[in-house]
Amino acid sequence: MSSMPVITNLDRRIQHSKERQFTGILSIQAEGRIPWHLYFLVGQVVWATTKTHSRRRWHRQLLRYCPELMPQNNNLEQILSYHSLAKLVMRKKFGREPFSKLVVGCISEILFDIIQQETLNFRTSRKLFAYKEVPRDAAKFPCIGLQHVQLWKQVQQDWQTWEQSNLIDIFPNQAPVIVDSQKLRERTSLAMFRTLTGLIDGQQTLRNLALRVKQPLVPLTLSLMPHVRSEFIRMVDVGDLEIDAVIMGSHNQPRSHVATHSQITSSASVAPKTPPLTQPSANGPTVLYIDDSPADSATMAQIIQAAGYRYINIADPLQALPQLLEIKPQLIFLDLVMPVANGYELCAQIRRISAFRETPVVIVTNNDGIADRVRAKVVGASGFMGKPIRQQQVLKVLKKYIHKRKKVASKNHRPSELSPSV
């Protein structure tokens, strides 16, 4: 059953408040459930609250938009709540733009949760939630206005994606927990099993995991669903964060997989400034690298050519497919993040060409999360290689996919599992 009645009802309430320039609180509640509260200032939604996961939600938005604020001292109380940070904004000690991003993130999650809960409630009882307005004096209202954002429209799009992915009964505020590790190990590769057990501890919600691995919520959740449906992983309710946990979290955030400026500079400094398109003297197998980064291409060229292989770089992903049939590489390195076409899209297009269905395609990326691996497997990638580019990593890939090519080709099938990161 579609969630359209729920969307229509909530949309009508929001638009009505906007047209009347309502200032006050719109309380939303189903019988026996914890209520949600939407705060309106002159017709604009400026804040939202509910008792469920209030600290988790705010802490998550801080990590997403203002990680530099996570305290290294005793000033935690100054940023751990809406009102405390709003006071800093009004005193011009904190910017309006980052504050708006934090608040919009919280409102978006709550509106999403309202839609989900009301949709499930409507399915079973055919009843919509009760809405109650509580007007307030604008001069005494404790909220501040936000910069212009398409908040409600984006939430509807997010919910539509969630619904179309058949995730209506999966709650983003629940946490996955492994309940049958033995069967999970039997059904997944060793690399995937290690990734799952390293991420899932029964305390991190889907939203927290998505933030941790820097992936959209839907692809991450879909990657877990086969194991949830098979009951190797179970979704469980978790409580809100304790203050002590928030403090510890600010000092123990997972490090980003993105290469630092010094790493990039170090990698580029050892490579030629202008890598040649090919190395004519190399008569060995051809290795192709599709990447628009001159520095990364220079580094890759030096390593591959020194190993005795013919090296070709294609900087424009739109030109890759026309050139592939002419070049006929034995191995393709493919950068994940490029303008116009990303690595996933390009890999899928390469696999549609019969001549390259068995050609190893290794995605080069800063991200190596579970969602990346699952999506890469779907589009036919052979494996991952992390950035910054290092000689040992490249040589390991060359050995795996070129030196042993005859052995791999004899199996006459595409890889069923992603190779471990190298």
Residue 142 has pLDDT above 80, yes or no: yes
Question: Which token pair is 121?
Answer: 């409630």
Residue 19 has pLDDT above 60, yes or no: yes
pLDDT band at 302 (very low <50, low <70, confident <90, very high): confident
Q: Show the beta-strand stretches assigned E in 270-378.
A: 286-290, 310-314, 331-335, 361-365
Tell me which fold the domain 261-411 belongs to.
Answer: Rossmann fold (3.40.50)
Mean pLDDT, residues 119-128 taken together: 89
Residue 103 has pLDDT above 60, yes or no: yes
Residue 279 has pLDDT above 60, yes or no: no
Of the spans 62-71, 257-266, 303-312, 317-326, which averages the highest pLDDT? 303-312
Mean pLDDT, residues 336-340 taken together: 75
285 and 309 in contact (C-beta within 8 Å)?
yes
Mean pLDDT, residues 276-285 taken together: 48
Question: Which token pair is 286?
Answer: 């051809």
pLDDT band at 373 (very low <50, low <70, confident <90, very high): confident
**Distance of alpha carbon 208 from alpha carbon 200, whole angstroms:** 11
Q: Which residues of 111-146 are buried (b: 16+ CB within 10 A; e: fewer)?
A: bbbbbbbbbbbbeeeeebbeeebeebeeeebebbeb
Give the torsion sign (CA, 81, 108, 17, 21).
Answer: positive
Per the document, the length of the chain is 422
**Distance of alpha carbon 351 from alpha carbon 380, whole angstroms:** 7
Mean pLDDT, residues 269-294 taken together: 58
Q: What is the pLDDT of residue 148?
A: 62
**Distance of alpha carbon 290 from alpha carbon 322, whole angstroms:** 13
Q: What is the pLDDT of residue 76?
A: 56
**Distance of alpha carbon 79 from alpha carbon 55, whole angstroms:** 11
SS3 for 133? strand
State the amino acid at position 68 in one-letter form: E
**Distance of alpha carbon 50 from alpha carbon 55, whole angstroms:** 10
Instruction: Please work out, in degrees rounded to the nearest 5, the angle formed at the alpha carbon of residue 319 by the alpha carbons of 318 and 324.
Output: 125
What are 172-225's pLDDT values in tens digits? 999 999 999 898 888 888 878 888 888 898 889 999 999 988 888 998 899 899
**Distance of alpha carbon 19 from alpha carbon 22, whole angstroms:** 8
42-51, 108-117, 372-381, 412-421: least confidently modelled range: 412-421
Summary mean pLDDT of the chain: 81
40-49, 76-85, 193-202, 322-331: least confidently modelled range: 76-85
In the beta sheet, which residues pair with residue 25? 39, 134
Residue 134 has pLDDT above 90, yes or no: yes
366 and 259 in contact (C-beta within 8 Å)?
yes
Domain ranges of the chain: 4-164, 175-237, 261-411
Q: Show the beta-strand stretches assigned E in 121-213.
A: 130-135, 175-178
183-187, 230-234, 279-283, 334-338: least confidently modelled range: 279-283
Q: What is the pLDDT of residue 256?
A: 32
Distance between first and last Cα of the chain = 46
93-97, 241-245, 266-270, 349-353: least confidently modelled range: 266-270
Q: Which residues of 50-86 are buried (b: 16+ CB within 10 A; e: fewer)?
A: bebbbbbbbbbbbbebbeebbbeeeeeebbbebeebb
In 10 A of CB 252, how many CB atoms?
A: 7
Residue 331 has pLDDT above 90, yes or no: yes
Mean pLDDT, residues 261-276 taken together: 30
Share of the chain above pLDDT 70, in %: 81
Three-state secondary structure of 236-297 = ECCCCCCHHHHHHHHHCCCCCCCCCHHHHHHHHHCCCCCCCCCCCCCCCCEEEEECCCHHHH
